[in-house]
Amino acid sequence: MGLKFAVLGGSQAYDLLKSGDINGERLGEIKTPYGDSQPVFQLGAEYGNAVFMSRHGEKGYSTTAPFVNYRANIYALKEQGVSRIISWSGPGAINPEYRIGQFVVTDDIIDETRRRETTFYKNRGVGFVRQSPVFCPTLRELAKSSLNSLSLDFLDKGTYVCTEGPRLETPAEIKKFAIYGADLVGMTLVPEVFLAKELEMCYASICYVTNYAEGIVDRPFKPGELFEGLADDEDRENVRKAVFNFPQILKKIANEAAGNNEPCVCQSLMARHKNRGDIGADWHDWVSHG
């Protein structure tokens, strides 16, 4: 049995739970110093040694991105013995060459959030974690290998800009992000990836493109529709097909991860602080509770 693996589901993860396409034993919310996490599910043996969590809630989009308790979720997964996390997210495309429904294994990130708790080490003198590579190289290779073996359309890199939300971005903001070099815009990967790295957990993300960002294509305003018309019927169908593939993708990655125990740089990200005596072996003692 390999290192324990977690799937952090994003947009529409709750639909897959409701339909039974992803199921398992419900372990429930985990109490943490930062409050309760979202419910954790122990997945079946076909997923290897894996657990599942829907970051926005198990029954619907009950918690929007800026109000997700990211610290509680990551802490809870660590408490469950998780060493590796694959997240999924449904961002918009800034890069006009990207296709709706296409998968992207992101390799870099731009943080445009403003009011989120982004560290476990608040008011402490530790936590200077290098951010290159941002996402775990071992897990990214597993994700790419799995998508390739399933013959799915994907890009092997892309820069994700994370905005505060819950509002969508203005056309001028999207132009700015394009100048920065961003390919995708979403609201969830920050601070998840940074928090996971602080606890020496491997973290990678598979995104699926849900729409074109504001100003990339000409879409009229349509009240009452998803994103007020930013996504059309064809886009929604392509997204539906992408989400439908996630159980198969995650099963493939989880089983490949179960057979791969190679040492990873993520597992030694706090080594300097350990060597200096700032922190000990027990990760519970590393974090502040503020």
The structure tokens listed for 79 are: 């408490």
Options 3.40.50.1580, 3.40.50.300, 3.90.550.10, 3.30.428.10; which CATH number does 5-285 get?
3.40.50.1580
**Would you tell me the crossing angle of helices 137-149 and 246-258 to the nearest 10 degrees?**
130
Closest CA to 208 of 103, 105, 55: 103
Which portions of the chain are predicted below pLDDT 50? 1
Provide the whole-model pTM: 0.95
For the chain, the domains span: 5-285
**Would you tell me the crossing angle of helices 233-244 and 246-258 to the nearest 10 degrees?**
30
Q: Which long-range contacts (CB under 8 A, 24 or more apart) does 226-229 make?
A: 227/168
Give 73-124 pLDDT, tens digit per residue: 999 999 999 999 999 999 999 999 999 999 999 999 999 999 999 999 999 9
Across the beta sheet with 24-28, the strand order is 24-28, 40-43, 50-54, 5-9, 84-89, 202-208, 103-105, 154-155
Phi, psi (degrees; rounded to nearest 5) at 26: -80, 110
Give 139-166 pLDDT, tens digit per residue: 999 999 999 999 999 999 999 999 999 9
Q: Can you tell me the distance from the alpha carbon of 115 to that of 133, in angstroms, rounded to the nearest whole number? A: 24
Q: Which long-range contacts (CB under 8 A, 24 or more apart) does 172-181 make?
A: 173/214, 174/94, 174/213, 174/214, 174/215, 174/216, 175/215, 177/94, 177/110, 177/112, 177/213, 178/94, 180/110, 181/110
Please report which helix (H) or strand (E) contains residue 251, including its range. helix 246-258
The pLDDT score that the predictor gives to residue 2 is 57
Helix, strand, coil percent content, the chain, rounded in steps of 5: 35, 20, 45
CA 221, 115, 13, 140 torsion-angle sign: positive
